[in-house]
């Protein structure tokens, strides 16, 4: 199966309408300067329902087929990296609704202008107390934190001050979702890129949470029956993150060509794109990127078809999807890094569009899952 697989009938099947792309791009520079998404960008996320696109239909989400969601995330990232990242991370956190008790999921996803942020590191603890847990800790890198209505977190379970252990003697870790009213955001995001993602830290100081707000992220623990919740978590994470990096790389290459066309070779005086090897370099990077992207989507479409048909994505399939994701990221890194020196001082100017894309790309590609 390839990119020509049977199209979804869902209205999100077309990755991104041109008018929406224009709205996102029009405000990207202002969002970068303000260090958070522009109100028009935020409104678009809510109006289109994108932040609920991976939540179950039964609780008010769209339950979008994963390949359609990934293509949308890539398309948004190809216009504005920060907005693509917030969409991906917050919609991804909304996916956890498929693992919550249905009544809890409906209450959360039904929240006005719902946006779920969060962090995966287990940097806090949850003390067993009655019908729930008392949560304490600090978590980093919650993209979209200023607009979050809820936060997810991982915490070490404790009882009487001592960690609860699993069958292997390791501390038990459980995921929770907590209303933003019980959370204190701590501004901490100072990266050179992805500025508008506002991926700040947050703290919870001894807040009690009912056990229905805890969940496990395993296919067998899903409370919603759709194939989206039987797709392995790490496979979902790899493909969504890789698509964002790929979108930013595509944006950079799109801007690199006109940037290079304005320059002349210092020795020959020829327009840079007419100098020996330069046009070939750009073409080779575009071709390598296109091949890696096509392979990535072929494997993603095949994996989704397998899970949607009721089968389990086995270790070999998950490994192939991970390898294709990392290969796409590697090709994207090579394209951006090798073309950047040809783009001139314009590309080094903080206020230029290509510089913003370059900064966003190199910040997003630092995610630990994307290490070679």
- pLDDT at residue number 270: 80
User: What is the β-pairing status of strands 116-118 and 150-159?
Assistant: parallel
User: What band does 302 get if pLDDT is binned at 50, 70 and 90?
Assistant: very high
Question: Is 260 or 8 the better-scoring residue by pLDDT?
Answer: 260
CB atoms within 10 A of CB 238: 24
E strand or H helix at 162: strand 162-163
Which domains does the chain possess? 1-224 (2.40.110.10), 231-370 (1.20.140.10)
> Does residue 8 carry a pLDDT above 80?
no
Q: What are phi and psi of 214, to 5 degrees?
A: -100, 155
- Given a cut of 90, whether residue 336 has pLDDT beyond it is yes
163 DSSP β-pair partners? 158
| CA dist., res. 156 & res. 174, Å (int) | 7
**3-state secondary structure at position 14:** coil
Percentage of residues in the chain having pLDDT higher than 70: 96
- Residue 10: predicted pLDDT: 40
pLDDT digits 0-9 by tens, 46-74: 999 999 999 999 999 999 999 999 999 99
The per-residue pLDDT for range 14-26, each reduced to its tens digit, is: 589 999 999 999 9
CA separation for the pair 276, 273 (Å, rounded): 8
pLDDT at residue 15 in the model: 86
183 and 202 Cβ atoms separated by less than 8 Å: yes
Burial tier of 200 (Cβ tally within 10 Å: 0-12, 13-18, 19+): buried
**In the chain, what percentage of residues exceed pLDDT 90?**
91
With tokens 């956890």, the residue in question is 96
> Which structure tokens are listed for 357?
């894309």
Contacting residues for 330 by C-beta, under 8 A, at least 6 apart: 292, 372
Q: State yes or no: pLDDT of 2 exceeds 50.
A: no
Contact yes or no for 340/248 (Cβ under 8 A):
no
Of 326, 253, 313, the residue nearest 284 (C-alpha): 253
Tell me the pTM.
0.94
Q: Is the pLDDT of residue 7 over 50?
A: no
Number of C-beta neighbours around residue 330 at 10 A: 17
Q: What is the mean pLDDT of residues 281-306?
A: 97
pLDDT of residue 273: 86
In this prediction, residues 334-350 reach a mean pLDDT of 95
Q: What share of the chain is helix, strand, coil (3-state, %, to 5)?
A: 55, 15, 30
Express each pLDDT in 155-182 by its tens digit.
Answer: 999 999 999 999 999 999 999 999 999 9
User: Which pLDDT belongs to residue 269?
Assistant: 76
Q: Tell me which of 104 and 9 has the higher pLDDT.
A: 104
The torsion of the CA quartet 214, 217, 222, 225, rounded to 10 degrees, works out to 140
pLDDT value for 14: 56
Say what the pLDDT of residue 6 is: 37
Token readout for 340 is: 């950047």
Q: Which residues contact 278 (CB under 8 A, 6 or more apart)?
A: 260, 265, 272, 342
Answer yes or no: are the C-beta atoms of 236 and 66 closer than 8 Å.
yes
Q: Are strands 184-186 and 200-210 parallel, antiparallel or unpaired?
A: antiparallel
Q: Where are the alpha helices (DSSP H) in 95-156?
A: 102-109
What is the Cα–Cα distance from 324 to 303, expressed in whole angstroms?
Answer: 12
Helix-helix angle 233-261:353-364, to 10 degrees: 150
Bridge partner list, 231: none
Q: Name the helix (H) or strand (E) containing 293.
A: helix 278-308
Length of the chain: 372
Q: What is the pLDDT of residues 203-248, one digit of tens each?
A: 999 999 999 999 999 999 999 999 999 999 999 999 999 999 999 9
Using CA atoms, how far residue 148 sits from 56, 100, 182, 190, 230, in Å, is 19, 18, 12, 19, 26
Confidence category of residue 268, pLDDT binned at 50, 70, 90: confident
């Amino acid at each position: 199966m390839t990119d020509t697989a049977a199209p979804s009938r869902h209205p999100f099947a077309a990755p991104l309408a041109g008018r929406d792309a224009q709205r996102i791009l029009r405000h990207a520079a202002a969002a970068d300067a303000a260090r958070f998404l522009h109100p028009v960008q935020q409104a678009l996320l809510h109006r289109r329902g994108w932040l609920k696109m991976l939540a179950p239909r039964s609780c008010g989400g769209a339950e979008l087929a994963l390949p359609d969601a990934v293509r949308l995330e890539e398309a948004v990232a190809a216009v504005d990296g920060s907005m693509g990242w917030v969409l991906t991370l917050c919609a991804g956190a909304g996916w956890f609704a498929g693992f919550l008790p249905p009544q809890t999921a409906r209450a959360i996803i039904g929240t006005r202008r719902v946006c779920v942020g969060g962090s995966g590191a287990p940097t806090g603890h949850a003390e067993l107390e009655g019908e729930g847990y008392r949560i304490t800790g600090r978590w980093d890198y919650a993209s979209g934190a200023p607009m979050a209505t809820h936060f997810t977190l991982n915490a070490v379970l404790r009882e009487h001050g001592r960690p609860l252990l699993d069958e292997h003697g390791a501390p038990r870790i459980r995921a929770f979702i907590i209303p933003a009213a019980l959370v204190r955001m701590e501004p901490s995001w100072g990266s050179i890129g992805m500025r508008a993602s506002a991926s700040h830290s947050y703290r919870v100081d001894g807040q009690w949470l009912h056990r229905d707000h805890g969940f496990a992220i395993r296919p067998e623990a899903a409370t919603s029956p759709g194939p989206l919740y039987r797709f392995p978590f790490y496979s979902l994470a790899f493909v969504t993150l890789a698509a964002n990096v790929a979108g930013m790389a595509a944006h950079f290459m799109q801007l690199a060509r006109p940037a290079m066309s304005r320059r002349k070779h210092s020795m020959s005086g020829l327009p840079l794109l007419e100098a020996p090897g330069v046009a070939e370099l750009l073409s080779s990077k575009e071709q390598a990127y296109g091949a890696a992207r096509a392979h990535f989507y072929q494997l993603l479409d095949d994996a989704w078809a397998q899970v949607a048909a009721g089968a389990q994505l086995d270790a070999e399939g998950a490994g192939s999807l991970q390898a294709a994701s990392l290969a796409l990221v590697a090709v994207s890194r090579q394209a951006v890094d090798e073309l950047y020196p040809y783009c001139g001082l314009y590309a080094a100017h903080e206020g230029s569009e290509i510089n913003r894309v370059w900064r966003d790309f190199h910040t997003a590609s630092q995610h630990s899952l994307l290490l070679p």
